Amino acid sequence: MQFTKMQGCGNDYIYVDCFRQPMPHDPPALSRAISDRHFGVGGDGLILICPSDKADARMRMYNADGSESEMCGNGIRCVAKFVYDRGLVRKSPLTIETGRGVLTLEVEVSGGTVRQVRVDMGEPILQAESIPTTLGGTPPLEAALDLGDQTLRVTCVSMGNPHCVAFVDEITDGHVLGLGRRIERHAAFPRRVNAEFVRVNRPDDVTMRVWERGSGETLACGTGACAVAVAGHLTGRTQRRITVHLLGGDLQLDWSEVDNRVYMTGPAVEVFRGEWPA
């Protein structure tokens, strides 16, 4: 099986072209094996690039633990680069089908290859039951999340996948590695959740670390950055247009007043290609 390793702000996945080769017979098992950083290729998960009857291509995304997720913001930028650079779809904008629906992406090309992608991530989902979470509010704003030994104030948003955002004075390993794994599987989140910890530097500039559902801490999370932009504005901390600094790089976010949609701009990079034994 041919594969391509790609990353967006250090959020790295193994990509498989299912236009030109068969769909893997057991994607969850493949994701667990190929994502292993010691015994596999190494990555935050597996992304299959498939034909679609409603868009230019379809993205199916599996976390490192084999669970399938609805959406990945950094991953979809790399899908756009893959389909454009490989000649599957040579246009801009292009459309990608995801578990969130069909998204539109504009590619920035230099020297014949995609360097950066702007993604229309759609409108944020703010209804608690649709996020989903049992915390109260539409959306839950600064809601009290009982962690047993402490209570954390959180704001919850979905970008097609669920996010729990906590604003803190300083982001520590205790937050991300300690509380993050507990928040992911908290009873308040019936489909588990991604946990973001955020320091506001200025109204247009924040720093973020993330514990991703099914993968643990990653260097970046595109949908998480979108959720942070929404949560920051809803709680009065940030403007609608912000820069988000992640461990793997920066993303530009714009929650538009005109159409209520979140636009994310960031890099897409091919790392290497290889062959995985069947």
Residue where the block lists tokens 């007043």: 257
In Å, what is the CA distance from 176 to each residue of 173, 194, 219, 225?
5, 11, 12, 15
Q: What is the largest CA-CA distance in the chain?
A: 54
Closest CA to 207 of 176, 235, 222, 228: 228
Catalytic residue (choose from 9, 156, 221, 226)? 221
Q: Are 92 and 77 in contact (CB under 8 A)?
A: no
Q: Are 193 and 46 in contact (CB under 8 A)?
A: no
∠ at Cα 19 (16, 23), nearest 5°? 60
Q: Which two tokens stand for residue 13?
A: 């996945």
Q: Are 251 and 215 in contact (CB under 8 A)?
A: no
Report the alpha-carbon distance of residue 110 to residue 255 in Å, rounded.
27
Confirm whether 78 is a catalytic residue: no
3-state SS, residue 230: helix
Task: Name every residue whose Cβ is closer than 8 Å to that of residue 223 and which is 6 or more positions away in sequence.
Answer: 71, 72, 73, 121, 159, 160, 161, 163, 194
Confirm whether 221 is a catalytic residue: yes
In Å, what is the CA distance from 212 to each residue of 63, 108, 254?
9, 28, 22
Report the alpha-carbon distance of residue 85 to residue 78 in Å, rounded.
10
Catalytic residue (choose from 9, 72, 156, 164)? 72
Q: What amino acid positions are annotated as catalytic residues?
A: 72, 221
